[in-house]
Structure 1
Amino acid sequence: MRNHEYDLCNLPGDLFREILLRLPVKLLLQLRTVCRSWNSFISSHEFVMHHHQRSTQPRLVYCSLESDGLDIMQCSVSSLLYNQLQPTRIEPLQIKYKTIQGSCNGLLCLCEGFPYRTLTLFNPCTRSVSLNVPFEYPGGDYLQPVFCGLGYDALRDKYKFVTGSKSSTVAAGLFRYRAKVCTFDPNPSWKTVDHPMFPYFTSCYSGTFVSGTLNWMAHVPDNDNEWFILTFDLETESFGRLCLPRNNHTHTGSCDYAPSLQVLKNFLSMSFQPACDINTACTIWIMKDYGVEKSWTILFTIPFGNAIIRSDIWLEPLYISEDEILLAYGKFNWSNLLVYNFRKGEVVHPMVEIEGSRDRSTIYPLSKSVYEKYFHVYHESLVSCLP
C-alpha cells in the first residue's frame, strides 16, 4: 500500500490533477483522508471550483410530501435519461420542513417556515450546512417575495441570496418594490439595494444563476406580450434587463404559458411555446454570449406529434445531455417528468421508486400527489457552505 501511495504521489502534477478532476465527489471525500497533502490539494478553492466546472454528475432535487412529512428528494439525472428499464431511486435527504429557494455551484439555499424564518446553505453531496441566517423581508411586512435566488460573487468569493418584494406602504392601492441581499460570510449580513421602480410581475420565482448574474423572466402587468429578463449582477449588486429574441414575438398563445429560464449546456436558456406555430410544442433558445442580445440562437424545437405533447401542455426544460436527450418538466392534468430524445423523436415518462418507502411501490414521478413541485438540477460539488 505504501509503494502504491508513493507511486501515485510521484505522478506528474498535471496528470495527477487530471485524474482527480474526473472522480466523483464521493470518492474524492474518501481520498481526502489518505494524507494531509491530498486533503489540502482536494480541499483547495482552485481544485474545488475546477472540479465543479468539470462535473458530469447532474442531480435532480425537489421538495415533496411523498415521504413522511415535507422532505427534499433527489435522484440521478443520468438514471432518468438512460436507465429506462429500471425505476430510478428517489432518495429522501432527511431535510425536513425546508423549501429550496435557489441553487448555485452545487449548493442549495433552503428556507424554513412561512413566512420564512431562516436561510441556510446546504451541500447535498458533502452534507455540509451553513449557519442559519434570520430571514429579512425587503418590505418588512412579510408579504411573499416576488422573486429570490442564490448566486456567487466570484470577485469577492461570496455567495449571495437576493430577494425582492412589493410593499403597499406608499399609498393605498400602490406598491413599492424593494430588494435585499444577504451575503454569506462569517458574519452574514443583509443590505437594501436599489431596485428598478416600475411595476412588473416575475413568472419564475427562483432566479437562474449564470455568468455571475441572477435572472428572472418578467413582464409588464397590463401587457402579457411584453416579456423581458430581469437581471442582477452579483458583483456590482445592480439590476438590469435583457430583451428576448427579436424574431420570437414573446406571445405565449392561447394557452397563456409564460416563457421560462434555465441553464442548458452552460448557457442562459429560454424555452417558449410559439403562439402561431401549430407544429411546434416548444422552442429552446440559448444566449451564446451572455448580455449580447444578438447572440440568441435556437438550440432545439420540440414538435407536436403524439398525445403526450399536446397544445395544452407546458414544458420547462431542466437538463440536456451531450447526446441531445432532454429532461423536462411537463405540466398538464398533473405535473410530471418526461424524457425527450431529439434524435429519435421519442418521449418517455421515467419510473421512480422512493427509497425507504413502506410499500416500495413504483410510481410515475410527481403523480402521487397534487402538490406543486419546483425542480432544481445541480452538479455534484465539493463546495463548502462554510465561509
Structure 2
Amino acid sequence: MTEFMDLHFDLLINIFLRWSAKPLMQFKSVCKSWYYLISSPQFTELHLDQTLAQSNPNLRFVFSAPHLSSAEFDTFDRITELDNPFRSQGFAHVVGSCHGLLCLCNYDLHLTILLYNPTTRTYKKLPFLPKPSSLSHRYSFGFGYEKESRDYKFVRILQSNEGTGPFKSQVMVYSLKMDSWVRAPDVPSPFFSYREDGVLVNGTLHWVHEFMHKDEKRYSIVGFCLGNNSFIEVPQPKFEEQLINLRDGVLEGCLCLMVNDLEYSDIWVLKEYGVAESWARLFKVKQSQQLMFLEWPIAYSLNRQKLFLQLNTWRVVSLDLQTMVIKDVKVCDFPRCFDTQVCIENLIMLKGSGSEALDHQQGTKKRRRRRRRKHVHRRRNISVDENLES
C-alpha cells in the first residue's frame, strides 16, 4: 500500500510539473494535500527548473505606461494592470526581473525596494537601508539570481558626486535567503552609467561606464559578481564607427551591446562570457531618425522572425530580421512604454515584511464574498418559503 501511495505521489508530481503556474495556483484549493504539495519549496524549485528548460514557456510582457501592467507575449494583447504594492503610492520603477520576479523601486518613498511576484501576487519589502551621507551622490542598482547559492540578490551602489570628503562609495548587497544586508568592498574606481540598473549575465551585474578621455567620450563595461561580491572589467568589442552612445542588455542569456552612431545602430553579442574574441555583431540597423537610439533588446518573437527592442524615446519597436526594417509596436493606448521586461510565470511565494498583510487582505475579501453569497442564498430560501406559505 505504501509503495502504491509513493507511486501515486510521484505520478501526481509529474502531472503537475506539466502545468503552468496559474492553473496550479487554482489547484491548491482542491484539497490540503494538493495545497501543501504545490506550495512546497521543493516543488516550486522543480517547477521553475522545468519552466526554464522549456523552449517556449508561458511568457508575459511587463511594462509601465505609465502604470505597471502586463500583456501576452508577443501579441501584446490582454493587457492587465498589475496590482503591485506601489500602485497607490507613486511610481514603481522596475529595476530588473529574474525568473518572473520583479524588483521594484519607489523613489517617492525614500527608495523603498520590493520584490514582487505578479503570478502569486506576493511581495517582499526589503529592510530599510539609510544613506551613509547627506552629500550629493548617485545610485546604481541591480537585481539577479546567484546560481551556486540559489539566492536572489539586490545590489545598491552609492558613489559620491563630491570631489572631497570621507565618503567615496558604499556597496550593499541584500540576500533574500538570509533576509539581510551585507556590505561589499567599495567601488575600486568611480564609474558613471547612464542606465543605473545593472544587466544580469552569468551571475554578474553589468553597467556601461561613460567617461571623458582627452575631450573624447569613452566607454568600459563594469561588472559586479554576485557570487563573491567583487568588481570586474568586462572586455568590449572593437568598434570601427564613431560612437554616440553605448547601451548594454541581455539577449537569450548573453551580454549584448547597442552601439549607436548617427547613421546606424549595431547589436553586438558576447557569445562566450569572458572571451573577448567571442564578441560578434549580429545586426546592423540603419537609423530611421536622428537621435532615435536602441536602448536594449527585449526578446525575439516566438517565431524568431522579429526582435523586439526598446528605444530611447520610450517606444517599443520590432526589427524584421529579414528586411532589417523597424516598425512601432502598439502595446496600449498610452503613447509611451518603458521599464519593459519579459517574465515567466512561477510559483514562488514571497513572504514577510508586508506580504502577510496582502495575504490577509485577499483572505478578508474572499471571506466577505463567501458571507455575501451565503446571505444571498439565505434570503432566497426565505423568499421561497414565504411564497410557499402564501
Pick the TM interval, shorter chain. 0.7 to 0.9
2:157 aligns to what? 164
1:62 aligns to what? 63
8 Å CA contact retained: 2:144, 2:205: yes
Give the 3 Å change call, closer, same or farther, for CA 190–11 of structure 1 in structure 2.
closer
8 Å CA contact retained: 2:299, 2:307: yes
- 1:292 CA displacement: 1.9
Pairing of 1:307-318 with structure 2 (within 5 A): 309-316=288-295, 317-318=297-298
Do structure 1's residue 343 and structure 2's residue 322 form an aligned pair? yes
- Measure, in 1, the Cα distance between the counterparts of 2:230 and 2:309: 31
- Measure, in 2, the Cα distance between the counterparts of 1:220 and 1:156: 35
- 1:196 CA displacement: 3.1
- 1:39 CA displacement: 5.2
2:140 aligns to what? 147
TM-score by length of 2: 0.74
1:74 aligns to what? 70
CA RMSD of aligned residues (A): 3.2
- 1:202 CA displacement: 1.0
Pairing of 1:357-372 with structure 2 (within 5 A): 363=333, 365-366=335-336
1:219 aligns to what? 210
TM-score by length of 1: 0.75
- 1:74 CA displacement: 2.0
Which residue of 187, 195, 204 corresponds with 2:186? Answer: 195
SS in 2 for 1:51: helix
Give the 3 Å change call, closer, same or farther, for CA 106–347 of structure 1 in structure 2.
same
Pairing of 1:62-211 with structure 2 (within 5 A): 62-65=63-66, 71-80=67-76, 88-95=77-84, 96=87, 97=90, 98-114=92-108, 116-137=110-131, 139-141=132-134, 143=136, 145-167=138-160, 171=164, 176-185=168-177, 188-211=179-202
2:384 aligns to what? none
Taking only the aligned residue pairs, the percentage that are identical comes to 24
Instruction: Provide, for residues 64-112 of structure 1, a one-character-per-residue CA deviation record: whole Å limited to 9, x for no partner.
Output: 44xxxxx3222223113xxxxxxx3432113312322222221111223
Letter in 1 for 2:147: A
- Measure, in 2, the Cα distance between the counterparts of 1:168 and 1:175: 10
- Measure, in 2, the Cα distance between the counterparts of 1:344 and 1:168: 45
- Measure, in 1, the Cα distance between the counterparts of 2:254 and 2:16: 26
Bigger helix fraction: 2
Structure with the greater alpha carbon radius of gyration: 2
- Measure, in 2, the Cα distance between the counterparts of 1:106 and 1:189: 22
Instruction: Provide, for residues 108-162 of structure 1, a one-character-per-residue CA deviation record: whole Å limited to 9, x for no partner.
Output: 112234363422110011111114421343x433756431011112222221110
2:347 aligns to what? 382
Do structure 1's residue 237 and structure 2's residue 245 form an aligned pair? no
Do structure 1's residue 323 and structure 2's residue 304 form an aligned pair? yes
SS in 1 for 2:183: strand
- 1:40 CA displacement: 2.2
- Measure, in 2, the Cα distance between the counterparts of 1:236 and 1:251: 36
- 1:310 CA displacement: 2.4
SS in 2 for 1:133: coil
Do structure 1's residue 51 and structure 2's residue 44 form an aligned pair? no
User: How many residues are aligned here?
Assistant: 334
Letter in 2 for 1:218: H
- 1:58 CA displacement: 3.0
